[in-house]
Chains A and B, each alone.
Chain A
Amino acid sequence: MNEVLLDVRDMAVSFGGVRAVDGLSFTVREGEVLSVIGPNGAGKTSAFNCVTGFYRPSSGSVRFAGTDITGKRPAVIAASGIARTFQNLRLFGDMTILDNVRAGMHVRIRQNFLDAVLHTPRYRRSEAAATAEAHRWLDFVGLRYDRTALIRNLPYGEQRRVEIARALAREPRMLLLDEPAAGLNHGEKAQLLDLMRRIAGLGIAVVLIEHDMGLVMEVSERIVVLNYGKEIADGTPGQVRSDPAVIEAYLGVEDGEQS
């Protein structure tokens, strides 16, 4: 078994009286494809936001690759090797497709402001390298569009691809995808499935929040099920599918059945 990459322990966060995440523990191993599922409001996205630093967990710890990242700034966590996409696309709308992908490799671009002002060879070199790399990532996600176009002019499904390309350009060790299949048609979902497999093939751990069970069962090596901010099941797709607690969470139980 691969080494543990992300280790979340007893993580909790609440908004007002609502405990969105309530003592959640789970691990992600290097290079695995893990899905986090659960009914709406189960705390999946809140858990993502805690891990990536957008929310500060009120208790518990998050360790990534052996370092404690609990409550760190999102930028610091991102720099340590976690990339994410957002549930509702968060692209830089008034910028080009290439610029959006360059954002992912931003912290790796070696130039300072004087290079930009003086147009030094280093500036030209780093810009050219960044552009070439952005093209490679867009090739990887299979974007067939004029890449100098503004991102907001792209169809929705293509914007999703660019968001993934942007996250990959971060060269993460772990990629968090928050409902990447939402709003995609059947063919696009199949392409997404293939893309996720190829991402895993690069040795990047993929953590997926998704409601499309077909996709989840197909792609995941392991599934974590949440309900009311707690983990109620953790196992292979086969185990989770037949777990009574999971069935109860999704379908509910009849009055007489409660034990």
Chain B
Amino acid sequence: MVMNNELPTPSGEVGEEASAYARAVDERGQANVALAGHGVGRPRARLAGALSAVLASRWLGAVVAVLAVALPLLNADTYLIRIATDALIFVMLAVGLNIVVGYCGLLDLGYAAFFAIGAYTSGVLATKFGWPLLATAPVVVVAAVAGGLLIGGPTLRLRSDYLAIVTLGFGEIIRITANNLDFTGGPNGLYGIPDFGDFGLRSDIAIYWVTAVVVCVAVLFASRLGRGKLGRAWRFVREDEDAAEAMGIHTYKVKFAAYIAGAVFGGLAGVLFAAHQTAISPPSFNFLWSALILMAVVLGGMGSTPGVVVGALAISLLPELLRGAENWRYLIFGLLLIAVMIFRPQGLLPARTGEPKPRRRFGRAARKPSEVEA
């Protein structure tokens, strides 16, 4: 055919030219980003540019983490520490659910079940068997994984709506089971759950610090997990399950991995919750919790870990900030949520769907693909 020369071949100059072209586009793209970051023109554009530069910064996460850990040094008010601990636990739950719903696209309406499994496993071992709370964490991980296997096994073969309904049922089953068993304390629940130890500090500050460190590590963990091979597989499944299968990706296993990762996050958040509350009972794990956590994920931006952190902080802190409005606060809270859904349906801080910033690209010349060895 005559068109041969129009198509760059992998070997020889034409192929290299195409590659150089792609690289030039990449670099120019970067330059454009930098330009937008510095902001040219009107003050409003400059402000937006500065904001997006801050949000895109590698250091933003670290700064927020340091602030979170340093909070008791800045203000050690008992009320503030208590609210902040609650908020951080909520962040952990939202980040965990985001792996399932945001990364992998599996709608889970019973996420509080894993939260309950974690809190109860930890609570029972600590109060009935006298285990130190920290020692219960590995058992909680095992219990959460077991719970994930038990529910995920049969349900992950289902798609979309069906999965949502089954998980909704599972969430209720766990709560009702806890309500009816003796060793979980029935409707009264468990009380007198110890903390992690006070390390010579005020006990609420000690719990806060443990929580802050665990949650910061969890957020980093989730965020990096989402960018690696497994995280990519989750997004392939979310985008098109059949196409992912055709690429040799075992979608059932991949969905399972997301479900189990979410379960472990939920379970560990349960341990923190048990330590913080010192008492747990079945109503702490009702459907409202699952719905609120899901709301944090959607509000923040599905699939975006920074977004979900913001969403979780908003959901948990706004009612407190609106306390001045007395009985009106939940109305205002609801209106604010509706406003966000109308004006920013993609979430407060939606996932950035670009490539990670290239440090430097390897593999200079375009080699013949047949020579590529994996």
Q: Which residues of B contact A142 (CB under 8 A)?
A: 6-8, 18
A84 to B26 CA separation, bound complex (whole angstroms): 29
Residue A1 is within 8 A (CB to CB) of chain B in the complex? no
Chain B residues with Cβ under 8 A from A44's Cβ?
Answer: none
- Which residues 216-247 in B have Cβ within 8 Å of A in the complex? 220-221, 224-225, 227-233, 235-236, 239-240, 242-247
Number of A-B contacts (CB under 8 A): 199
**Contact status A198-B246, CB under 8 Å:** no
Which residues from chain B contact A84 at a C-beta distance below 8 Å? 246
Interface residues of B in 348-374 (CB under 8 A from A): 353-355, 358, 361-363, 366-367, 369-370, 372, 374
Stretch of B181-189, B204-212, B248-256 that contacts chain A: B248-256
Q: Does A241 contact B (CB under 8 A)?
A: no
How far, in whole Å, are A130 and B230 apart by their CA atoms in the complex? Answer: 14
Q: How large is the interface on A (under 10, 10 to 19, 20 to 34, 35 or more residues)?
A: 35 or more
| Given known A-B contacts A78-B245, A187-B3, A99 and B370 have beta carbons under 8 A apart | no
Q: With A54-B242, A136-B372, A194-B7 in contact, do A95 and B235 touch (Cβ < 8 Å)?
A: yes
Task: For the complex, give the distance between the alpha carbons of A259 and B239 in Å.
Answer: 52
Instruction: Say yes or no: B2 contacts A103, CB within 8 Å.
Output: no
Contacts of B244 in A (CB 8 A): 92, 103
Is the CB of B21 closer than 8 A to any CB of chain A?
yes
Instruction: State the main secondary structure of chain A at its contact with B.
Output: helix
Are B235 and A86 in contact, CB atoms less than 8 angstroms apart?
no
Q: A190 vs B15: C-alpha distance in the bound complex, in angstroms?
A: 18
Query: Are B6 and A191 within 8 A (Cβ)?
Result: yes
Closest approach, in angstroms, between the C-beta of A230 and any C-beta of chain B?
26
Q: How far is the CA of A229 from the CA of B205 in the complex (A)?
A: 73
The interface-forming segment of A33-41, A144-152, A231-239 is A144-152
Which stretch, A14-22, A56-64, A107-115, touches the partner chain B? A107-115
B residues in contact with A119, CB < 8 Å: 224
Q: State the CA gap A147–B233 with chains docked (Å).
A: 19
Assembled-state Cα–Cα distance A117/B228 (Å): 8
Write the A119-134 contact mask toward B (1 if CB under 8 angstroms, else 0).
1000100111101110
Give the residue of B21, B353, B363 whose beta carbon is less than 8 angstroms from that of A95: B353
Counting CB contacts under 8 A, is A243 at the interface? no
Q: How far is the CB of A171 from chain B (nearest CB, A)?
A: 8
Asked if A116 contacts B230 (CB within 8 A), the reply is yes
Q: Does the CB pair B247–A135 fall under 8 Å?
A: no
Q: Which residues of A contact B362 (CB under 8 A)?
A: 128-129, 131-132
Taking the nearest CB of chain A, how far is it from the CB of B366, in angstroms?
A: 5
B112 CB to closest chain A CB (Å) equals 25
Enumerate chain A interface residues (CB-CB to B < 8 A): 52-54, 73-76, 78-79, 83-84, 86, 90-96, 98-99, 102-113, 115-119, 123, 126-129, 131-133, 135-140, 142-148, 150, 166, 168, 170-171, 187, 190-191, 193-195, 198, 202-203, 218
Closest 6 CB pairs of A and B: A116-B228, A132-B363, A92-B239, A78-B248, A190-B3, A108-B374
Supply 10 A–B pairs (Cβ within 8 Å), ascending by A: A54-B245, A86-B243, A92-B235, A95-B239, A103-B249, A106-B249, A113-B257, A133-B363, A133-B372, A147-B25
